[in-house]
Structure 1
């Protein structure tokens, strides 16, 4: 049995995947590491490339795309490793000796269910990426760079595949909290997520991304928040989206909001079936945790 598993889901992004595999080849080649890639219905040369240049990688092929979340579930339920490193196909680990840090941290923190990495979002990694933050317990983690303690994964429900995209990490974080597990932000592990975040608003899928982001947030309110807090949170969230986007002329956002509301109504039976609400005491404890560390910028926390 391997100690570490590197899990990657990809679809039609062979050039990004090539870079990622080149950057982490020194990890993949280790005898205590397995790498499993789920090719989720790609129509490019992804599978051919992996088979030709990385024959030791275990390849899972979906003839028809099943979605990011369903693919991540498959990978996590397949591995037998102790610790599962989840990376996007356009993200790679930068830090030296990350596996040593990961194993040591989990051994010293047995209640840690997920190790959340420090993540830089941008096309070019800054020269200065020294550690200027401290390890801390946080509410949740980011999908493109985190590590599962597989004992914790097997104690909670799978990611909700019906979310399709966005929100699955927060879903898992709430489930972990309910089961006595913790999420720790460990800045020693730096992941470079090679994306241009600002340019995403101009992408063709901006409206779809916003729709999925909004509805996942509303799903989480209905699944985990104490009942008495839900109406206020939903109304506030809706009004803020209208104020910050629609009133500023973002009419794609208006359509995304309407679609997201219909998605919530459509999925009410699933929301009712899968609800695992926090009590008010649990909710107050949860909210005292540090906020999720989504983005890291160099020198942002230095005095």
Structure 2
């Protein structure tokens, strides 16, 4: 079984180099390759990778084309049987992760994608033990997962017109439509080295992120949900924005919500062109799946 480890990056050289230092020993196995796609970095990322990690296959955009573009190129060009996707600020804490992933795919032929257990923090966990067990879930987190490439080739590529946010859910819905499962596998633990509290603060890119995140959810609703359900879920989402945010004085979301509504209208031709609606039975079965396991906390 051949493995490819895919990492897309932009202007986060130090984070990337730390991640590569943890990944590099895995490349001693000739059946494993690592691909880094530098999306127009201006901090010397490409040069540093070439010098410090010469066995890494480096792809590079001179100007940024977006991380969805980068992920599509890596996935569509690989000859591997399994593609492991990591963020540039995430790395394995489990021993022998690729062996565990390979065995799991062999033992679970319906599994098209493995979602890893992910720990979000700037500091390492005091314990990595977990009592969780594998289970089928609705979706996965971009910073740590593994594709069975037969499943990836069975669905459309990530929609680049999403720009960022929502592409994992798009792929998850496509996998479900094509009778593949997403399985959460806690045996593989990934440390995502981020400060969640800092992420939740209102920063200069808050409005853009809020707008893109909100509209991505609406895109997927209208791409996949049966007509009546789609309209109902969309209206409920708008009502929730009003009730829980705007009417409670969180006026910083007003323009992002209006922008997301405009994006939904502006990009409606893309939605109509790519719509793959669930049947009522498919939708009912989909709603029975468990929610994705996004955050893991060390157990007492």
Structure 1-normalised TM-score? 0.96
Distance 1:242 1:94 in 2: 41
SS class of match (1:115): strand
Unaligned 5+ segments in structure 2 are none
Report the CA distance between 1:163 and its aligned residue: 0.3
Distance 1:244 1:22 in 2: 44
What is the number of residues matched between the two proteins? Answer: 299
Partner of 2:210: 210
Distance 1:202 1:230 in 2: 30
Mapped pair 1:140 → 2:127:
no
* Higher mean C-alpha displacement, 16-25 vs 105-114: 16-25
Contact 2:126–2:298 under 8 Å retained in 1:
no
Partner of 2:179: 180
Partner of 2:293: 293
Distance 2:279 2:285 in 1: 10
1:234-249 mapped onto 2 (5 Å cutoff): 234-249=234-249
Structure 2-normalised TM-score? 0.97
Mapped pair 1:251 → 2:251:
yes
Distance 1:35 1:204 in 2: 33
Unaligned 5+ segments in structure 1 are none
1:116-135 mapped onto 2 (5 Å cutoff): 116-135=115-134
- Superimposed CA distance per residue, residues 122-151 of structure 1 (whole angstroms, 9 cap, x where no aligned partner): 111211120221100001111000000000
Partner of 1:150: 149
* Higher mean C-alpha displacement, 198-207 vs 211-220: 198-207
Report the CA distance between 1:262 and its aligned residue: 0.4
- Superimposed CA distance per residue, residues 243-265 of structure 1 (whole angstroms, 9 cap, x where no aligned partner): 22223332221111110110000
1:65-76 mapped onto 2 (5 Å cutoff): 65-76=64-75
Distance 2:56 2:164 in 1: 25
SS class of match (1:202): coil
Report the CA distance between 1:239 and its aligned residue: 1.5
Contact 2:4–2:34 under 8 Å retained in 1:
yes
1:40-59 mapped onto 2 (5 Å cutoff): 40-59=39-58
CA RMSD of aligned residues (A): 1.1
Distance 1:29 1:42 in 2: 28
Partner of 1:80: 79
